[in-house]
């Protein structure tokens, strides 16, 4: 296993870096680097720029618009995007439902949905969690009853990220309540504009409207929107979550935020000296940097395995746990660095207005409290690791 980049891989990184410098709009970059909130138009604008370049879905097969990059090149690409401060390509379409459609969907589903995902014609959201069925997702109760050539869906989903913007939602629904709970679940693609779909916002502690409750009241869904086989949805869900958890690690973004933290702390004065020279605070930063370096080495080992044809396995849970712990620790140390000045919520600045004072970081801190919960809570991931890796 060689964790060093080759000359060709370094040249690839330089080419990506040069393209990003030439094509990343300055106003989008400023929002990302300064922790401003991104709107729907920001996400769509960057997605379409990347799609025009042919880089919107690097992991897809070449016949559907993939780049043909090696796993190492894809890792380098992600690193360069993070360092440059690009808005993310939202994962719900490109990295979550698309792999499921590619692997288990019909040819008609591939031909219709994949081009629309690629160029962001359709904005997707995820319908997994329910009240009482979060970490224990297999207990979900949203019901889809087959009636001829359609399903009639009733139930509720919650914590639906950016569902207020979505055109489509991929849902786990119960199609056979008489079976063992994991065996009676199906994977449906539902148009959010269908009659009977209601989206209700959940305002979070950072005073943002990012997540939602979604209600289904006798929503009619064409049977053609069933992915794969009926009652096999749990298999497809596990396949999807493996891709999601690997991406949550976000090492490149954490490396960028570590540099931000160091600059922030260096500018703070404690007893006439930089906060970074305070032994106790410096030790916290050093410990975090070591954790991040170890996480990066683990990611590179996974990338090396993928280059040899190995898919994401239980190590995806390890990346998810450590990646989110690092992300949360970064925001904690940012707030600690500037103290009470982190507290005010200047919502107009979070939405893009300019100012000279230090950005309020409490909203950023609060938003990252959720990372250890979504994508499968860290407690559940530790159970998976103990069973699948340690054999306990």
Distance CA 203, CA 164 (A): 12
Distance CA 5, CA 310 (A): 19
3-state secondary structure labels for all residues of 83-135: HHCCCCCCHHHHHHHHHHHHHHCCHHHHHHHHHHHHCCCCCEEEECCECCECC
Phi and psi at 355, nearest 5°, equal -175, 165
Residue whose pair of structure tokens reads 């032994």 in the numeric block: 279
Distance CA 37, CA 87 (A): 10
Can you read off the two tokens belonging to residue 81? Answer: 């995007």
**Best CA proximity match to 40, nearest among 157, 120, 113, 96:** 120
Pair 235, 187: CB distance under 8 Å: no
* Catalytic residue list: 244
């Amino acid at each position: 296993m060689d964790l060093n980049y080759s000359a060709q891989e370094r040249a690839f990184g330089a080419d990506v870096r040069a393209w990003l410098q030439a094509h990343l709009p300055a106003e989008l970059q400023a929002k990302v680097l300064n922790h401003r909130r991104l709107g729907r138009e920001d996400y769509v604008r960057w997605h379409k720029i990347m799609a025009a370049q042919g880089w919107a879905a690097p992991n897809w097969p070449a016949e559907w618009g993939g780049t043909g990059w090696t796993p190492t090149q894809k890792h380098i690409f992600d690193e360069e995007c993070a360092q440059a401060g690009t808005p993310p390509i939202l994962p719900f379409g490109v990295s979550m439902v698309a792999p499921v459609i590619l692997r288990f969907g019909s040819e008609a589903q591939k031909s219709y949905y994949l081009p629309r995902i690629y160029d962001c014609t359709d904005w997707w959201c995820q319908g997994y969690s329910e009240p009482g069925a979060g970490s224990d997702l297999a207990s979900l109760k949203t019901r889809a009853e087959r009636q001829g050539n359609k399903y009639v869906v009733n139930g509720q989903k919650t914590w639906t990220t950016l569902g207020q913007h979505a055109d489509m939602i991929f849902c786990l629904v119960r199609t056979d309540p008489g079976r063992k709970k994991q065996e009676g679940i199906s994977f449906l693609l539902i148009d959010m504009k269908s009659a009977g779909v209601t989206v209700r916002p959940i305002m979070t502690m950072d005073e943002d409207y990012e997540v939602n409750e979604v209600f289904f009241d006798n929503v009619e869904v064409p049977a053609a929107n069933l992915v794969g086989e009926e009652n096999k949805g749990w298999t497809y869900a596990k396949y999807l979550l493996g891709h999601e958890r690997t991406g949550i690690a976000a090492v490149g973004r954490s490396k960028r935020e570590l540099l931000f933290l160091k600059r922030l702390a260096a500018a703070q004065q404690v007893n006439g000296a930089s906060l970074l020279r305070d032994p106790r605070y410096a030790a916290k930063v050093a410990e975090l940097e070591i954790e991040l370096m170890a996480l990066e080495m683990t990611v590179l080992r996974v990338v090396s395995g993928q280059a040899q044809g190995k898919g994401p396995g239980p190590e995806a849970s390890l990346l998810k746990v450590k990646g989110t712990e690092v992300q949360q620790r970064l925001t904690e140390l940012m707030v600690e660095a500037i103290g009470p000045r982190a507290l005010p919520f200047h919502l107009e600045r979070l939405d893009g207005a300019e100012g000279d004072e230090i950005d309020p970081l409490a909203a950023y801190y609060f938003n990252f409290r959720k990372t250890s919960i979504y994508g499968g809570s860290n407690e559940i991931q530790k159970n998976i690791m103990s069973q699948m890796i340690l054999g306990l």
